[in-house]
Structure 1
């Protein structure tokens, strides 16, 4: 009872057309405490929650937290400096994961989780367990209803996944409780804004379980999206010599050397760089990270989508990876990493079909945080370091795997040198 659609004109109709196409039970798979802003299916509740959260995720708000992002990136720079001295090869993707999680801690809970310092992946929560259950449960609704019984069966996979999700849920609850107990009102982090948030229409505030629920969502989406995007991006850059050469040239011409008092470039300085912006758009086009089919229910009575009448209650969705590789939109070179497609006159038209964070009023609320991190990490690393892929950096097919979201498959082994 589902239809996958790849017509670009349907994107705005399905996802940007107000409340006509409502979320389906697929989103119930992502609920671990209560439905959060991503999984909420009730449009009135979502509208209220969005009014409460919008300001905390605005460009202005993220800019105010930029020094804490910088502090984490500065720690990554120190680690890269160590690798330049030893000449040791290392997995850059793993370090992007450490970075993303520490930044999440700073922005959400005013406390780094210090994974960059420990460099131990076992110190990170079991993200994969929740992602696996959400992906399967979202696509197979009966699985969610059966899960309480399945987890009691002597099957190690079920027990491992449910225990992992429970541990992740408890991690979110403990992080919220620790932040509240700290009583630090000087730091206007995301959790502080949740505690202070009021619906401007009703004056209503969030209950503790709602705050814990949103914190759980921060942890799931906040670190993994940026880390996966950066890993995929640097794979492309390190396997496209001409592109990284042109990008570094733009950085050298437009960004001065950083003084000792400043370790990281500002988002304001980096987001205006034309070639860099084109590179990032191409990366999102080739490999959008969150690629689940975001189901919507056709309104009662049915309607016409992409030229065909579809009965009411049928689930429709557009998978962004499929849309991004529609040759009628992006050309028959859609699978080739071609930055030029975002530098020509067609770029404005193509941009309306670029959907790495979905689109419309239910688009990812954290997209500004992701963009800040990506612009700052790319410019700071490439302006100060030279990276080489251990595999020789020959162009080829990027190895990825997808379960709820897309990740670089395997390691991104590199060596780093000072420029």
Structure 2
């Protein structure tokens, strides 16, 4: 297993993650303050309960129906059908960004998220004095373009928030929980800034990761006829006579299908949505890692992709069991 180590500038344990993820203010995903994390978790956890996730299903099913309609229309065209599947797979807060309606990535959101992730992953390793000026380093467009993408994502997230805030319906989604949440410490509603920050984090942490995984599943399965047959047989057996246009399977029975779930899990193992591991900072006095002493204040990281290829991190199952590799 590889461990990436970055020697040089000694940094605060909070500094690196702040550069990498914070667009508006720290959120549940990136705060390292235990008290703040516990506070945020109290009002966000209910949004991800089994019951509430089930309540989201009708809204998502409507979008899946649109997706299947788009794919079917392209597949029924004359000649060889070519579909950029990634263009269709992005949702946010129970309502899509409109990719399915326009059949294109009209917000350039996918490129924006990719560019943002790449530049922030790099800029976190630069000395603190250089970070604010890298957007002016036009000799290498990687920096200004990537940092502009970061700003663009913030704008997209804010616009999506304002549109959802101004809607009069009572649809249950992530934002509806944030709108109704109370600060566990004061009992007051959450500030608009905090809601926007959490909303933007879930565009990357939820929508983008889901779309990437869906795209990778289709890509991998399209190359494996034997897996296609196993999936078709399993689905035909589970839903006899129901595989018709406009029909969408419910989550609970789908969650019990061993082949389908194994395919999805193995896809995420082979192609994790984030292949780089989050950095950690060695504690005061340093730390011995893999038999090597690493001085205090040093960034260390184990790439997710490496962990996913470490046999000791997985339990080998018999073929057909839930979670078995394909």
How does the TM-score come out when normalised to structure 2?
Answer: 0.82
**For the residues of structure 1 that align with 2:164 and 2:191, how far apart are their CA atoms?**
15
Distance 1:308 1:27, change over 3 A: same
Name 2:200's counterpart in structure 1: 216
Distance 1:328 1:191, change over 3 A: closer
Name 2:16's counterpart in structure 1: 26
**Deviation at 1:42?**
1.7
Contact 1:288-1:320 within 8 A present in 2 as well: yes
**For the residues of structure 1 that align with 2:80 and 2:153, how far apart are their CA atoms?**
31
**Deviation at 1:244?**
1.9
**For the residues of structure 1 that align with 2:129 and 2:163, how far apart are their CA atoms?**
32
Name 2:27's counterpart in structure 1: 36
SS at match of 2:97: coil
**For the residues of structure 2 that align with 1:321 and 1:261, how far apart are their CA atoms?**
37
Distance 1:88 1:123, change over 3 A: farther
**Deviation at 1:53?**
0.9
SS at match of 2:136: coil
Distance 1:118 1:88, change over 3 A: farther
**Deviation at 1:306?**
6.0
Distance 1:326 1:47, change over 3 A: same
Name 1:67's counterpart in structure 2: 58
Name 2:69's counterpart in structure 1: 78
**For the residues of structure 2 that align with 1:317 and 1:219, how far apart are their CA atoms?**
24
Name 1:342's counterpart in structure 2: 317
**For the residues of structure 2 that align with 1:345 and 1:75, how far apart are their CA atoms?**
31
Deviation readout 1:317-374 (Å, 9 max, x if unpaired): 332210111255569xxxxxxxxx43369988x99xxxxxxxxxxxxxxxxxxxxxxx
> Of the two structures, which has the highest relative contact order with CA contacts closer than 8 Å and spacing of 6 or more?
1
1:243 is aligned, of 202, 227, 232, to 227
Name 2:278's counterpart in structure 1: 294
Name 2:261's counterpart in structure 1: 277
Give RMSD over aligned pairs. 3.3
Name 2:159's counterpart in structure 1: 174
SS at match of 2:305: helix
Deviation readout 1:183-233 (Å, 9 max, x if unpaired): 43x112211111211244653542111111111112223222112112222
Distance 1:153 1:310, change over 3 A: closer
Distance 1:44 1:161, change over 3 A: same
Contact 1:97-1:223 within 8 A present in 2 as well: no
| Structure 2, gaps ≥5 residues long | 6-11
**For the residues of structure 1 that align with 2:301 and 2:137, how far apart are their CA atoms?**
34
Matched, 1:165 2:129: no
**For the residues of structure 2 that align with 1:35 and 1:206, how far apart are their CA atoms?**
14
Matched, 1:195 2:179: yes
| Structure 1, gaps ≥5 residues long | 6-21, 332-340, 352-419
Distance 1:23 1:47, change over 3 A: farther
Distance 1:122 1:63, change over 3 A: same
How does the TM-score come out when normalised to structure 1?
Answer: 0.66
